[in-house]
Structure 1
Amino acid sequence: VPLESSGRTVILTPEQVKRGKRLFNNSCAICHNGGITKTNPNIGLDPESLGLATPQRDTIEGLVDYMKDPTSYDGAESISELHPSIKSAEIFPKMRNLTDEDLFTIAGHILLQPKIVSEKWGGGKIYY
């Protein structure tokens, strides 16, 4: 999966894949089941949506940065009080104990899903 915007990639271990799925299901799937965004169906976790965000979120580093301190899709303002994040862990308890390695595996899970379930990931109601 893509690690950073320069094009470097990383291969996830089977353990990281399992851990990322478990952590995603526990911390993120309530709003992002199947790669959709229940609160804003126009912006999903599909590769196109992640790549068009500012800053781009289609890499491990981009997603980890977002999970630490989320910004609006255009990058103009912080949305940490609205979206669970490390920055707002006091109001979003599920984020409280996540480590950088946890965020790395969650990001890996998000970026791996389109390779496994193809267009279903982020495809919305027609698939789920």
Structure 2
Amino acid sequence: MKKLLCAVALGVILTGCSDAPKDSSAATPATPAASKTEFVAKADDAGTQQTFTRAQLKQGYAIFKAECSKCHVGGQTYGTYNVREINLSLDQLKGATPPLDNVQTMVAYMKKPLTYDGTENLYDKGRHPKFDNFADEKLVLVAGHILKEANFNPAWGKGKDVR
């Protein structure tokens, strides 16, 4: 009896580990899978998607590091402009007005930064730089980097303000 149970259990285990194709009628993810060298971001509020290559993400990181990391190390806001409560975590980006969880609104924000509730222009108040002198292509790369980190880096925006 023990041998029979072991044989049945082994058969179940081996069947579950087989390389046989899965049922094609199973639900598929709503977003296309990106390769390990790509990141697929939400491009706009309409649900359009934008794919970033690894090289583009590296460019976005380099621009972010040069232009944004003075105040946003690891996605945290370090209060250079007396704003410490807002960070670049996905929850914070989604909660902004308008939500900053897509490339289009992120680029618009970088050109005209607004308070978290969307009511005041931070640039006019001297509380955030604006990057309207940057080409849109550069801002898109920065947005790609920020959104990739916000979606996949659990520590992003969760740092402690040490200043």
Matched with 1:34 is 74
Return the letter of the residue paired with 2:72.
Answer: H
Matched, 1:13 2:13: no
Matched, 1:67 2:110: yes
**Alpha-carbon distance, 1:112 to partner:** 0.4
How many residues are matched?
Answer: 116
User: Mind listing any 5+ residue stretches in structure 1 that lack a counterpart?
Assistant: 88-95
How big is the alpha-carbon RMSD for the aligned residues of Structure 1 and Structure 2? 1.5
- Give the TM-score normalised by structure 2: 0.67
Larger Rg: 2
Identity %: 36
**Alpha-carbon distance, 1:86 to partner:** 2.6
**Alpha-carbon distance, 1:73 to partner:** 0.6
**Alpha-carbon distance, 1:41 to partner:** 3.0
Query: What does 1:1-128 correspond to in 2, within 5 Å?
Result: 1-39=41-79, 40-80=83-123, 81-87=126-132, 96=133, 98-117=134-153, 119-125=154-160
Where relative contact order (Cα < 8 A, 6+ residues apart) is larger, the structure is 1
If each structure's helix is expressed as a fraction of its own residues, which one has the higher value? 1
**Alpha-carbon distance, 1:77 to partner:** 1.1
> Is the Cα–Cα contact under 8 Å of residues 88 and 150 in structure 2 kept in the other structure?
no
Compared CA separation, residues 46 and 120, structure 1 to 2 (3 A): same
Q: Which runs of 4+ in 1 moved over 3 A?
A: none
**Alpha-carbon distance, 1:2 to partner:** 1.0
Deviations 1:8-64 (A, max 9, x none): 211101221110000000000010010011113321101110111001111111110
Structure 2: distance between partners of 1:67 and 1:8: 20
Return the letter of the residue paired with 1:25.
Answer: K
If each structure's strand is expressed as a fraction of its own residues, which one has the higher value? 2
Deviations 1:86-107 (A, max 9, x none): 35xxxxxxxx4x2110000000
Return the letter of the residue paired with 2:150.
Answer: P
